[in-house]
Amino acid sequence: MENLSLYENLFIKADSLISEGKVSEAKELLEDILEQCPDFGKAHNHLGWIHYNKLSNHEKGMYHYKLAMKFDPKYPAPYLNYAYLLVDLGKYSEAKEHIRLTFATGDNIDYCNFYSELGRIAELEGEYILAYQYYKKSRDLAFNTQFIENMKINSRRVCDKMSIFEKLKIKFNKKI
């Protein structure tokens, strides 16, 4: 238990380093943590984030996100980070399936962000009514005013892409 507390404290330090923009120091610290405690899920998540977002190493990012979900299934961050990664890589079917499983089995789910990702997938696939519905659902579940504003912007952008017929369906709230 004492060692776990030490690793948790080191993890908090690594998290702070990332926030301060000291990503290389954080990466080294996270690697040190995982060398001693290879099943520390939160460290895997953060290392996955660094590999994907800062080093553009998609494979290592994916690897660490999967380990984070395996070793700490109740920690919500890797589920959303993994969804972002899949969407960014254009793996839409895999992302939808991951989100579906997360909804079915996950705890502490940030639904508004997952619905936003489903909206992004639908928009990228040209399904503008569905994208609009997901963005609206995301907005309805959100509390952060900036996030809500972003969902409104996303909804307006999707409406601009719609045909007249699609806009009429939205206006009269017809089911697809």
Which tens digits make up the pLDDT trace of 57-80? 999 999 999 999 999 999 999 999
Answer left, alpha or beta for residue 38, where phi above 0 means left and psi between -120 and 50 means alpha.
Answer: alpha
Residue 162 burial (10 A CB sphere; 0-12, 13-18, 19+): middle
Tokens of 20: 């301060």
Eight-class DSSP state of 8: H
Q: Round to whole Å and give the CA distance between 151 and 116.
A: 8
Q: Tell me the pLDDT band of 106, cut-offs 50, 70 and 90.
A: confident
Residues 6 or more apart in contact with residue 156 via CB below 8 angstroms? none
Least Cα distance to 151 among 133, 167, 169, 163 occurs for 133
* Domains in the chain: boundaries: 1-95, 110-176
pLDDT higher than 60, residue 37? yes
* Domain 1-95 = CATH 1.20.1560.10: no
pLDDT higher than 90, residue 175? no
pLDDT higher than 60, residue 108? yes
pLDDT at position 173 is 77
Taking each helix axis from N to C terminus, what angle separates 2-19 and 23-36, rounded to the nearest 10 degrees? Answer: 160
pLDDT higher than 50, residue 176? no
